[in-house]
C-alpha cells in the first residue's frame, strides 16, 4: 500500500519538477503539493526526490570581479553611453569574460560592432594577458578592414583600461592598421557580462 502511494506521489512530484524546468527543489515541490491539497510530509518529498535523483537548481555565489580602488581614476566615457552609431565600423566595444571548462578557466575577449551587434573579433586563451584583447582586436580589423580616417573607436573592458601594457598594445595594434587615422581611444564597455 505504501509503495503504491509512493509511486503515485512520485509521479506527481516528477510532473511538478518538470513544470518548473527542473529548478524546484523539495521545499517548493512540497509547498506546491500542499497547495494542491495533497497531504504529505516534507521529509517524504525529500526522500522520494533523493531516491529518484531529482534536485533543484543551486545558485552559486559569483565572486566580485571589478573592484573599484579609491583614488584610482576610471577611464573616461568617450561615447557618453551612446552605443547606437549611425553606420557600421564606427563604434566597437570589447569585453572579457571567463568560462569554466573541464580543463580549467578560459578567458574570452570579444569585439562587437555596436551598429550591427555582431561579433567582429574574438580570442580565447587560458590566461588574462594584454595579448588576449589585442588578438581579438586584430581579428576584428582583419575581418572588417575599416577604411582610413577616424571611423572606429575600439573600447575595452574596464579592468584592462588600467593596464598600461594593454593600453599600449591596443594603441600600437590600432595605429599599425590605421596609419592615417586619428589615434583610437578607449572607454569602458557598456556592461561586463558572462554572456558575450
pLDDT, averaged across the chain: 77
Considering only residues 124 and 175, tell me which one the structure prediction assigns the higher pLDDT: 124
pLDDT at 63: 67
Q: Among the ranges 119-128, 145-154, 166-175, which has the highest mean pLDDT value? A: 119-128
Is the pTM for the entire model greater than 0.75?
no
| Confidence grade of residue 168 (pLDDT, cut at 50, 70, 90) | low
| Cα distance between residue 42 and residue 25, in whole Å | 11
Residue pLDDT, tens place only, 8-66: 999 999 999 999 998 999 999 999 999 999 999 999 999 999 999 998 887 776 666 66
Whose CA is closest to 138, among 96, 169, 164?
169
Furthest CA-CA distance within the chain: 85
At 173, is the pLDDT very low, low, confident or very high (cuts 50, 70, 90)? very low
In the predicted model, what is the mean pLDDT of residues 165-177?
Answer: 47
Amino acid at each position: 500500500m505504501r509503495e503504491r502511494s509512493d509511486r503515485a506521489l512520485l509521479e506527481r512530484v516528477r510532473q511538478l519538477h518538470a513544470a518548473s524546468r527542473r529548478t524546484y527543489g523539495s521545499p517548493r515541490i512540497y509547498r506546491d503539493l500542499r497547495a494542491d491539497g495533497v497531504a504529505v510530509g516534507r521529509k517524504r518529498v525529500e526522500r522520494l526526490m533523493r531516491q529518484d535523483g531529482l534536485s533543484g537548481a543551486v545558485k552559486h555565489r559569483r565572486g566580485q570581479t571589478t573592484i573599484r580602488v579609491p583614488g584610482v581614476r576610471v577611464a573616461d566615457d568617450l561615447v557618453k553611453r551612446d552605443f547606437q552609431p549611425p553606420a557600421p565600423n564606427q563604434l566597437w566595444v570589447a569585453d572579457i569574460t571567463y568560462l569554466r571548462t573541464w580543463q580549467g578557466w578560459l578567458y574570452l575577449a570579444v569585439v562587437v560592432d555596436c551598429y550591427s551587434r555582431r561579433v567582429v573579433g574574438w580570442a580565447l586563451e587560458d590566461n588574462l594577458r594584454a595579448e588576449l584583447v589585442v588578438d581579438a582586436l586584430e581579428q576584428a580589423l582583419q575581418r572588417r578592414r575599416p577604411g582610413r580616417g577616424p571611423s572606429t573607436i575600439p573600447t575595452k573592458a574596464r579592468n584592462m583600461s588600467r593596464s598600461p601594457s594593454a593600453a599600449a598594445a591596443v594603441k600600437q595594434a590600432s595605429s599599425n592598421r590605421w596609419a592615417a587615422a586619428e589615434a583610437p581611444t578607449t572607454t569602458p564597455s557598456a556592461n561586463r557580462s558572462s554572456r558575450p
